[in-house]
């Protein structure tokens, strides 16, 4: 029996769509790359990008799945940064997951992330909550271990009812078990993405970036702005589209899907027209010439 997935037939009448902000279980998402491609096929997405947090482990696997499922795949990443006291995320598209400079940064970042997780567990012990480090590492060893993973175990141990309570009571900023995350600057993130032959985008600016902050990032040489995001209002989407035109930038967008309704909207619920992917591909190709 043939177990190969059926080829997706896209109707010429149906508008072709793309979701360029998806997280797999190699960072803080719930689904494997193959499960993501199965859903992308179900929702008739023409193109997707997996943009795990500071992690590229899903990308080479996904390149093979893209051929198998006949879905265009853009290798991506979401890099955590800090500007002054503001946390900023920079999306990278078309990156080379085998790039030496990129992997050197990611290795250092993963070590820092592990150290942070250990410190959080130490503080939890001071609150009489014992989480074994080996248990955490064995369960999430291939992922970018972070607070959401620790929150899951707190829920399992009946220490809290849900993720919100875990962050409000223990893990959130200024809470008893909070440890600051290691962050690079947006300028450094843009450079890392460029060295990996990628293009850089401001992720979900409507979440925490003021207009002047956006202009500062544009001045650093950012390639584009994520205009479409679940946490953007219609007015914000229009404002960011105007900035894209004003500064001759590119645009992207997606669902920021994590594989769980509790963590956000479903894949494909926030999409961009496939024509934008065509423009992004042409723009990236021109830069590589």
- As a whole number, mean pLDDT of residues 162-170 equals 93
User: If pLDDT is split at 50, 70 and 90, which confidence band does 59 have?
Assistant: very high
The terminus-to-terminus CA distance of the chain in angstroms comes to: 45
pLDDT for 89 beyond 50: yes
- Angstrom distances, CA of residue 18 to CA of 32, 97, 118, 138, 214: 19, 21, 38, 34, 24
Total-model pTM = 0.84
**Structural domains of the chain, ranges and CATH numbers in brackets:** 17-99+200-288 (3.20.20.140)
pLDDT for 226 beyond 50: yes
- Which segment of 23-32, 168-177, 237-246, 259-268 scores lowest on mean pLDDT? 259-268
Give the pLDDT of residue 5.
55
- Residue 60 corresponds to which tokens in the numbers above? 């080479």
% of the chain with per-residue pLDDT over 70 = 92
Q: What is the pLDDT of residues 194-221, one digit of tens each?
A: 999 999 999 999 998 999 999 999 999 9
Contact 45, 135 (CB under 8 A): no
User: Which letter does DSSP use for residue 197 in this model?
Assistant: T
């Amino acid at each position: 029996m043939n177990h190969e997935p059926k080829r997706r037939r896209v109707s010429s009448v149906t508008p072709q769509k793309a979701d360029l902000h998806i997280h797999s279980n190699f960072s803080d998402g719930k689904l494997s790359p193959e499960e993501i491609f199965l859903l992308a096929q179900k929702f008739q997405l023409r193109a997707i990008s997996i943009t795990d947090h500071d992690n590229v482990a899903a990308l080479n696997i996904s390149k093979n799945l893209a051929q198998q499922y006949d879905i265009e795949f853009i290798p991506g990443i979401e890099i955590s940064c800090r500007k002054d006291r503001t946390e900023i995320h920079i999306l990278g598209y078309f990156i080379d997951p085998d790039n030496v400079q990129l992997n050197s940064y990611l290795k250092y970042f993963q070590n820092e992330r592990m150290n942070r997780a250990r410190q959080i567990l130490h503080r939890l012990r001071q609150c009489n909550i014992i989480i074994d480090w080996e248990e955490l590492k064995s369960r999430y060893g291939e992922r970018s271990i972070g607070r959401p993973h620790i929150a899951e175990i707190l829920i399992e141990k009946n220490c809290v009812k849900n993720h919100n309570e875990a962050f409000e009571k223990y893990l959130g900023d200024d809470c008893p078990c909070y440890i600051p995350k290691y962050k690079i600057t947006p300028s450094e993130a843009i450079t890392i993405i460029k060295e990996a032959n990628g293009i850089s985008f401001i992720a979900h600016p409507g979440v925490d970036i003021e207009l002047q902050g956006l202009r500062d990032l544009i001045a650093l040489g950012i390639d584009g702005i994520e205009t479409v995001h679940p946490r953007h209002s219609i007015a914000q989407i229009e404002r960011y589209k105007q900035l894209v035109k004003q500064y001759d930038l590119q645009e992207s967008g997606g669902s920021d899907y994590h594989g769980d309704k509790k963590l956000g909207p479903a894949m494909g619920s926030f999409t961009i027209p496939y024509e934008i992917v065509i423009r992004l591909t042409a723009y990236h190709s021109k830069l590589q010439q």
